[in-house]
């Protein structure tokens, strides 16, 4: 009996505590912007990242408190920010302007696309270059962030015009509504154009060293995405081709379940032909197609984890 009472009291306190933290983070972000001089790019970047964290916290509090849909939760959370102006909301994504001090638009996507990710996780991206902390991310994480945003928006319930206009804002492209279908090639092209190349693997990583010591001696390893099942799942892989438009479907390494793997043919590493991914219905289907997974879905013995 007393136990129950105690529990109720504690859980109520937790929510209030979370709200206080949200408010404090907001004030701190504001103070940081003021102290650094709000006209500088650095201050705007710092303030924007702080605001993104505040928005995220507000969303998490809102969705933890009431189990509403994404659309309702994000609208309730954003109503707490007087400067926020709604551009568009859908069942899995939303766009707001007015918060970023440099005039950027926030694209917010519920991360429900990739089967391995936590349900309900919110990804936020500001349309202003440099406002997303990209530089601190690894090549793989950066690619995952961008893939989640693009493919998440595709299944977000946003109307076509809003979807294409936000892509154009993020990527500086001039796509027309009706000309963008989110195919594997189109998404890969957008990412490669945005960064000039696919992201290069970090030189201090175990995979980089293993590749350079063996099958990629004179080549640069670039991390690539392959979108399976119309963008609902993604396989990340390594090839020496820096642009998406270089059609080359041989993987030197493949990322699966949190690990990079290289394929052995006898005692030597080898590449794998992955053009067949094109017809795969799921990641499992694709990886079974190249023999990386056996019939039970376990990793085949000739695929070696690296790092």
Q: What residue ranges bind Zn ion (CB under 5 A)?
A: 48, 100, 104, 126, 128, 131
131/263 with CB nearer Zn ion: 131
Counts for the chain of helices (H) and strands (E), in that order: 8, 12
C-alpha 274 chain-centroid distance: 23
Residue 205, token pair as written in the block:
């990583």
Task: Report, in Å, the least distance between residue 39 CB and Zn ion.
Answer: 15
Task: Report, in Å, the least distance between residue 128 CB and Zn ion.
Answer: 4
103/276 with CB nearer Zn ion: 103
Radius of gyration of the chain (CA): 22
- Helix (H) or strand (E) holding 21, with range, is helix 2-36
99/198 with CB nearer Zn ion: 99
Task: Report, in Å, the least distance between residue 4 CB and Zn ion.
Answer: 46
Task: Report, in Å, the least distance between residue 29 CB and Zn ion.
Answer: 12
CA trace torsion 199, 156, 48, 190 (10° rounding) = 30
How far is Cα 103 from Cα 101, in angstroms, rounded to an integer? 6
Work out the angle at residue 40's Cα, subtended by the Cα atoms of residues 38 and 41, and round it to the nearest 5 degrees. 115
Dump the DSSP string for 107-129: EEEE--SSTTSPTT-EEEEESST
41/265 with CB nearer Zn ion: 41
- On whether the CB atoms of residues 108 and 122 are closer than 8 A, the answer is yes
CB atoms closer than 10 angstroms to residue 165: 18
Task: Report, in Å, the least distance between residue 53 CB and Zn ion.
Answer: 12
Task: Report, in Å, the least distance between residue 97 CB and Zn ion.
Answer: 10
Task: Report, in Å, the least distance between residue 9 CB and Zn ion.
Answer: 40
What is the widest separation between alpha-carbon atoms in the chain? 71
96/155 with CB nearer Zn ion: 96
How far is Cα 203 from Cα 87, in angstroms, rounded to an integer? 41
46/239 with CB nearer Zn ion: 46
- On whether the CB atoms of residues 189 and 244 are closer than 8 A, the answer is yes
- On whether the CB atoms of residues 304 and 261 are closer than 8 A, the answer is yes
96/222 with CB nearer Zn ion: 96
């Amino acid at each position: 009996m007393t136990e129950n009472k105690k529990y109720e009291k504690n859980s109520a306190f937790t929510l209030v505590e979370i709200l206080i933290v949200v408010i404090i983070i907001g004030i701190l972000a504001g103070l940081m912007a003021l102290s650094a001089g709000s006209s500088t790019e650095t201050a705007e970047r710092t303030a924007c990242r702080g605001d993104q964290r505040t928005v995220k916290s507000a969303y998490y509090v809102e969705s933890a408190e009431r189990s509403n849909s994404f659309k309702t939760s994000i609208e309730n959370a954003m109503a707490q920010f007087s400067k926020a102006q709604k551009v568009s909301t859908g069942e899995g994504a939303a766009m707001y302007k007015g918060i970023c001090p440099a005039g950027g638009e926030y694209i917010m996507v519920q991360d429900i696309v990739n089967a391995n990710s936590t349900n309900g996780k919110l990804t936020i991206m500001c349309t202003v270059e440099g406002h997303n902390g990209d530089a601190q991310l690894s090549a793989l994480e950066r690619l995952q962030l961008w893939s989640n945003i693009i493919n998440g928006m595709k299944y977000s319930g946003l109307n076509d015009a809003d979807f294409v206009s936000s892509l154009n804002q993020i990527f500086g492209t001039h796509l027309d509504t009706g000309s963008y279908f989110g195919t594997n090639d189109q998404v890969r092209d957008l990412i490669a154009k945005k960064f000039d190349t696919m992201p290069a693997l970090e030189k201090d990583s175990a995979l980089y060293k293993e590749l350079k010591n063996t099958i990629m001696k004179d080549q640069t390893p670039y991390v690539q995405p392959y979108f399976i099942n119309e963008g609902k799942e993604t396989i990340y892989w390594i090839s020496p081709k820096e642009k998406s438009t270089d059609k080359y479907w041989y993987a030197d390494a493949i990322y699966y379940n949190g690990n990079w793997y290289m394929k052995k043919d006898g005692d030597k590493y080898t590449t794998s032909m992955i053009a067949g991914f094109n017809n795969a219905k799921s990641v499992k289907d694709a990886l079974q197609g190249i023999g990386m997974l056996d019939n039970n879905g376990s990793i085949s013995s000739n695929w070696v984890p690296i790092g």
